[in-house]
Chain A
C-alpha cells in the first residue's frame, strides 16, 4: 500500500476517532511535556536557588575586592591601577558588577596637637629664631672660639597617649559623608607652593571628640616613619559623619575615626611639596607626606539580580580573566578576591544532589504516564478488536494493520511533541504559583530558564509515547479474526511478562541494581566532581515497574479472594460483583494497578514532603541541640531565664588510651541535659534519660571535696612553718631564704565554678599564726562572686617570696584548727582530702615540734632556753597538730603541686561505637582517657550513637562525660598560683536552654552582657529550621512532587472513568438481563459500583504502602543532602497518616464519583437501548 493511501486512511481514522484520540494526545503531550519539564524545571529551580543563594549571601562573599598596597604612594601609579580596574571591570564583569567603590587608605598616622601644653609651631618658631641668633653669633666668633652648636629642630613628637587615625580618600568620597560642621574641603585649586596654608582636612566626629579639636583647629599629622621631619600641619575644615555606616567604602573601619581629604589633595600632598624653607617653622625645604603606605582598594558591587542562571559558567570565566588580567597588567601588584566561585561550586554540587531526586521523581511521573498510555492504548485496542477483524477480512495484512495503528500513534506523538514544550513551560511556570515554591517566587510564575536544548527530551518523549501507544498493536495485529471479534467477551489471559517470566527477570535486575547502588553510592564523587549516577535515577522507576509487575501476578489472586469474600455477603449487590471479580480478575488487576500508581505516587509525594520537612526539623534540631544554645566564653555560667530549663555544657576533645584519634567531647549534667536536648529515638534510646543518666548511677553529682557551711565567709587555720634550727639560721645570717608560706585553696562554688583562693597572710617560720582565707572572693575573674555553698577541693602552700622560682623548698608546716568563720565558727574536718604529689601528712604530732626544731641546735655563743623560755617562744604551742611535710625543692616548672586534695571517682564516659571500636572498649571497661589537657581514668558506662550538636567532621567519634566530674578532673588540680597567673579554667562555653519563647530568652540572655557585647553566637532551633527549610531546590522538589501527584491523579481518573465506561458498556447484556429479571436500575448501578470500588480500594491500599516503599527507595538521595555528604541525623521516613488519609479520601471521592458517573451513564439507559447495545 502506498504511503499516501496509508496517510489517507490514517487521517480518516484519526478524524473519526478524534474523540478518543484526544485522550491519547493529552496523555502523550503530558508525557513529553513532563520529560521536557526535566531540564526546564531543574534549570528553573536551580535559577531560583541561584538567585536565593546570591541574595542571601553576604556582600563580602560575592563582591570582588581588588587591592594593591604600596609603601611609596604615588598618584601616577594609583591612576594606572585605577585604569586597569576600570578597564577590566568594563571589559569582563560589568554585567554583574555594574558599580564599584574605590578608596585609598593610609596606615595609621599620629595626631599631634599643636596648642595646649606643647605648642610645636611656637617651639619651631622659637627654634628658628634661636638658630638664626646662634648662626649670627657663630658668624661673629674668632677662629679660636668654639661655635655654639645649633640644637636639633623641635620636630613635633607624639604624646604618650597619642590618637592614631587613618587617612581615607576616594574619588567619590564626598558622596558618602555628611558634613556636620564646616565645609567639605574642596580640591585644592592650586598646587601647594611656598606659602601653602595648613592642609585642610575633614575629620570624623569621633576623631574630633577624642582629640578635643574643633573646626579651624590645627594639628600635626605624623606617619610612623624613621624620619622626624616628615609630618604635616593640617587644619580641620569640616567635621563629618558617614551617611551610611554600612556602605562598602568603610569596610571594617569605623568611619567616625578617620580623617578625610579629597583625592586630588591626597595625591598632591602625598608627594614631597617644595616650599621656601624660611616659611617653615622648622626650616624644612619640603612639606607633605611622602612615602606613605597606602592601600588602594576597590569593592566591585555584585548585583544579585543581574546574574542569570545561564551565565554561571560565563561569570566564572570572566572572574578568572579579571583576576588574572588585573594581576598581569599591574605586574602582580593588584590582587582580586571573591568567594563567588566557591558559592557557585556549592550551588553546582547542590544541583546534582538535589537534582537527582527531581529527575527520579519526574521519571516516576513519566513512567506512570507511560503506563497510562500503554494501558489506555491496550484498552482502546481491545475495543477496536472487531474493527481490526473487519480490516483483516477486507484484505489488510498484519503489517498494514500494524502500520495503520503505528502511523496513527506517530501522528499523535508528533502533534504531542509539537505541543509539549509549551505545556512544559506552562507547567514549570505554574509551579511557581503553588506552595511551597510560591513562598519563594512571591506567587509569580516560575521564570522558565533554559540552558541545554530541550530537543533530545522532546524527541525521546515522542519516541517513548509512540512506542507506548503503538506497540500494543503488535500482539493484536497477529491475532486471528475470530479472536479479535470476540476479544471483549473473553477473559483476559496472562500478560507477556508473566508468560515468559520477564517480571521475575525485572525483579532480579532491580535487586542487582540496588546492590550495585549500595556498593557504588548514589552520587559519584570519585573524580572530585559530583555527578549523579544514572542508575540511581533509574532505580526508583525500576522499583515502581517491578512492583507493578509483581502486583500483576498477585492482584488477580487477591481479587479472587476478595471476590470470594464478597460472594459470602448477603444480597446480590455484593455477591454478583464478587462472582464477576472471581471469574475474570486479570483486567481488574490492571485497573487496580492504575489506581496503585496514582495513590502510590500521591502517598509518595506526601510522605516525601513530610519526610523532608521532618528531616529539616530534625536537622535543625540536631544542629541546634535545643531551643536556644548560647555559645560564648563563659556561657555556662549565665543565668537561665526564669521559666526556662537550661544547663551548661562544656565542649572539648579527647581520646581514650591516648589515641591519636581525637573524639568530640561534651561534658554535661546528665539529668538536665536529657531534659533540654532535642532527641530522636534512633539516637540510642527512646528517652534521652536512658542514655545520659548512666553517667550518674546514683543520681547525685560527683563529690568534689568537703562542703563548707553556707554562711562561711572565711577559712581559718593555725600554723607555723617548722623552722631551721637557731644555729643554722645564725649560720645563714643574711642569706637565709624567706620561709613564709601562703596557703592556697581550690574551691568549687554552687555554680560549679572553680575558684583559686589564697590566704591573706602567711605561715611563718618565726611564730604560730592564724592564716585566713577570704571565701567570698578568689583570684578568678568571673562576673559574680562565689556562690555558696562552697566545696573545698584542694589545699596547698606556696612560698611567699620564692627565690629562683623555688616555690617550695622542703618545708614542713604544723597545722591545726581548721575552721570556717561566718555566722558561726565551725570546725572543719578534712576527711576526704588526701595528700598528693609528695606531700606527706603526719597526724597528731606535738605542736611543740616547731620550737623543738628551732632549739634543736643552738649557736655556740648562745644559751639554751629554759623550759619557761621555751614555752614562751612564739614557735611553741601545746597540744597536737598535723605536720605537712613537703617533698623537697619544687619549682614553678614542676606542674605537680604537693597538695591535700579530694579524691575523685573515675570519670564515667559514654562513647560512640567508633571510639569504642578504635580503643577496643566495652561497657564496664576502665581505661585512661585524655580529655582536654588532662589524663585520667574513666569507666565506659554506655554507648551513644548520635548526639545533637555533636557533628564535628574533624573529630573521629564522640564521647560524653559528666560536666561536674570533668570539672573536678580538669579544673581541680592545683597549680602554682600565688605569684604567677592562675591556671586556665575550662569553663562551659555553652548554655543549652529549653524555652517556650526563644526570642524572650535571647533578650534575657543578652541582657546579662554589657551593652554592645552580646553573645558571640546564639543558635536557635527556630532559626535553624528556617535556614534548613528555605532552600529553593528542596522546596522545588516538593512542588514538583505535588504537581506529579496531581498529574497522576488526573491520569488515573481519566483511566478509571474510561475503563469503567468500557467495562459497563461491554457488560450491557448482563445489565439488561439483570434488569429484565427485575433488578432495579439503582441496584444494577450499585452492583457495578461495588465491584469497581472493591478493585479501586485494593489498589488504593496497596498504592499507599507502595508509595511509602518508594519513599524508602528514594531515601538514599535525600540522605546525601545538598552537599553530597551524609545528612545528620539520618533521614527517617515520616508518614503523616492524617494527611495521607485525607489525600486518599479525596482521591477516593473522585474515583467513586467517576465510577458512579460512568455506571449511571450506562445503567440509566432504557432497557430497549441496552438490549440493542447488546446486539450491536
Chain B
C-alpha cells in the first residue's frame, strides 16, 4: 500500500505567554492511501493539533510530516496553495465555516475549482456529479441557509472534494448533527474511501462513529495510545504511573460500570464486573 501520511516523531509545542504547552510529544503515525481512519482521544490529547499540522495550518515544532508526498514542515506559501488545491480537502465541525454563505450550493462547490482555474464546463460537471453522489442534486441551486445541517455538511464534503484531493481531513464533521445524520455522513465517507479510493482522516469524540472507520487511532497526551479496532484483542497503553485507559465501549460491552474486579490469571489480568454487578 502507498503511504499518504507519514508522521515521524512529531512534536508541537504551543506557546501561551510564558507557558509552553506540549501538544504533540513525538507522535509517530502513518496512513495508507484509501484508508478511512478516525482519531479519537480526550480534549487536549493533540487530535486537533495533529489535524492542523496535516492540514498545513500549523507547522510542527520538530519531527517530520509528509502528506501525499508533500513535506509539510517547511511549506512556502505557493506550495501551501498547491497543497490545498491538489493534496487535501477539509471538512470542519462548524459547517457554516465550510461554506461561503452568499454562494448557493453549486457555487460553493465550484469555488475551489474557480480559484484553481478549472474551466466552467468542467466545474459544472464535477459539481453536479458531487451533488449527485451526496444526494443533493435537487438542492444544487439552493441557498445555504435553506439547507439542513446534514445537507450543509454533505455539501461541505462536496466542496472539500471538488478538486479531487487525495486526502480528506475532517474535524468532528458530525459534531453538530444528530446520530442518524452523522451515521449517514460516515457512511458516505466510507463509501468514498472504499469505492473512490479517497483517504479520509476523521477526528471525532464519538467512539461509536469511530468504530465505523477502518482504523481507530487513540491519542493521549500527544502520543498515540492505541490503534486498531476494538475487537477481541485490544492493545492498551500503560502510562508511567501504571494507569490504563479502557475504552467506554469495551467497558459497556463487558458490563463494567463504576467498578471492576481485576484478577491475575495465567494469561495476564482478567478484568470483570465487580461483585455488585454479579448480583443483578
Contact surface of A with B, Cβ cutoff 8 Å:
1-2, 5, 8-9, 12-13, 15-17, 386-387, 389-398, 400, 480-482, 485, 1175-1176
Contacts and interface: CB of A to CB of B under 8 A. Distances in A.
Interface in B228-264: none
B55 interface: yes
Highest count of chain A CB atoms <10 Å: which of B55, B77, B114, B163: B114
Contacts of B99: 390
A2 B58 CA distance: 30
Contact of A393 (B90, B96, B103): B90
A17 B102 contact: yes
A1136 B23 CA distance: 63
Q: How large is the interface on B (under 10, 10 to 19, 20 to 34, 35 or more residues)?
A: 20 to 34
7 contacts: A2-B117, A387-B100, A389-B97, A391-B100, A395-B115, A395-B163, A397-B78
A391 B108 CA distance: 11
A486 to B, nearest CB: 11
Contacts of A5: 114, 117
Interface in B102-126: 102-103, 107, 111-112, 114-117
Specify which of B78, B94, B112, B115 lies most central, judged by the most chain A CB atoms within 10 Å of its CB: B115
A17 B100 CA distance: 11
Given A16-B103, A481-B57, A394 B115 contact: yes
A937 B52 CA distance: 98
B98 interface: yes
A391 B81 CA distance: 11
B153 to A, nearest CB: 14
A386 B102 contact: no
Most buried by A among B90, B96, B116: B116
Contact of A395 (B52, B94, B112, B176): B112
B224 interface: no
Contact of B102 (A15, A398, A485): A15
B114 to A, nearest CB: 5
Interface of B: 52, 55, 57-58, 77-78, 81, 84-85, 90, 94, 96-103, 107, 111-112, 114-117, 159, 163, 176
Contacts of B101: 16
Contacts of B111: 9, 391, 394
A2 B115 CA distance: 9
B58 A390 contact: no
A5 B99 CA distance: 19
A15, A16, A17, A396: residue with the most chain B Cβ atoms closer than 10 Å: A396
Nearest to A395: B85
A1 B90 contact: no
Given A1-B117, A390-B100, A482-B52, A396 B81 contact: yes
Nearest to A485: B97
A395 B86 CA distance: 9
Nearest to A392: B84
Q: What 6 pairs across the A-B complex have the smallest Cβ distances?
A: A16-B102, A395-B85, A394-B112, A395-B84, A397-B81, A395-B115
A12 B101 CA distance: 11
A478 to B, nearest CB: 8
A1117 B122 CA distance: 65
Contact of A391 (B77, B85, B115, B117): B115
A397 B77 contact: yes
Nearest to B165: A395
A390 B89 CA distance: 11
Contacts, number: 64
B242 to A, nearest CB: 37
Nearest to A398: B77
A395 B116 contact: yes
Contacts of B96: 1176
Contacts of A17: 102
B114 A1 contact: yes
B102 A393 contact: no
B269 to A, nearest CB: 43
A386 B97 contact: yes
A319 to B, nearest CB: 64
Given A16-B101, A390-B98, A394-B84, A8 B78 contact: no
Contact of A482 (B58, B90, B94, B116): B58
A220 B14 CA distance: 123
Contacts of B103: 12, 16
Nearest to A1: B117
Contact of A1176 (B94, B98, B115): B94
Contacts of B84: 392-395
Greatest chain B CB density within 10 A among A2, A387, A390 is at A390
Contact of B159 (A389, A394, A481): A394
A392 B112 CA distance: 9
Nearest to A401: B115
B254 to A, nearest CB: 36
B148 to A, nearest CB: 15
A430 to B, nearest CB: 36
A396 to B, nearest CB: 5
Contact of B97 (A15, A390, A395, A397): A390
A988 to B, nearest CB: 84
A1175 B176 contact: yes
Contacts of A394: 84, 111-112, 115, 159
Nearest to A8: B114
Contacts of B55: 393
A395 B81 contact: yes
A391 B98 CA distance: 10
Contacts of B81: 395-397
Contacts of A391: 100, 111, 115
Contacts of B100: 16, 387, 390-391
A396 B85 CA distance: 8
Contacts of B176: 1175
Contacts of B90: 393
Given A394-B111, A397-B77, A481-B57, 14 more contacts: A1-B114, A1-B115, A2-B117, A8-B114, A386-B97, A390-B98, A391-B100, A391-B111, A393-B55, A394-B84, A395-B112, A396-B81, A1175-B176, A1176-B94
A387 B85 CA distance: 17
A11 to B, nearest CB: 11
B107 to A, nearest CB: 7
A15 B78 CA distance: 30
A9 B57 contact: no
Nearest to B160: A394
Contacts of B117: 1-2, 5
Contacts of A393: 55, 57, 84, 90
A792 to B, nearest CB: 100
B15 to A, nearest CB: 14
Nearest to B111: A394
B102 A13 contact: yes
From B81, B90, B94, residue with most partner A Cβ within 10 Å? B81
A394 B98 CA distance: 9
A1052 B100 CA distance: 30
Contacts of B159: 394
Contacts of A1176: 94, 96
A899 B210 CA distance: 133
Contacts of A389: 97
B194 to A, nearest CB: 26
A394 B101 CA distance: 14
B168 to A, nearest CB: 13
Contacts of A481: 57
A389 B98 CA distance: 10
A389 B163 CA distance: 18
A390 B94 CA distance: 12
B98 A12 contact: no
B60 to A, nearest CB: 14
A566 B112 CA distance: 49
Contacts of A482: 52, 57-58
A392 B85 CA distance: 10
Nearest to A387: B100
B6 to A, nearest CB: 22
A290 B7 CA distance: 126
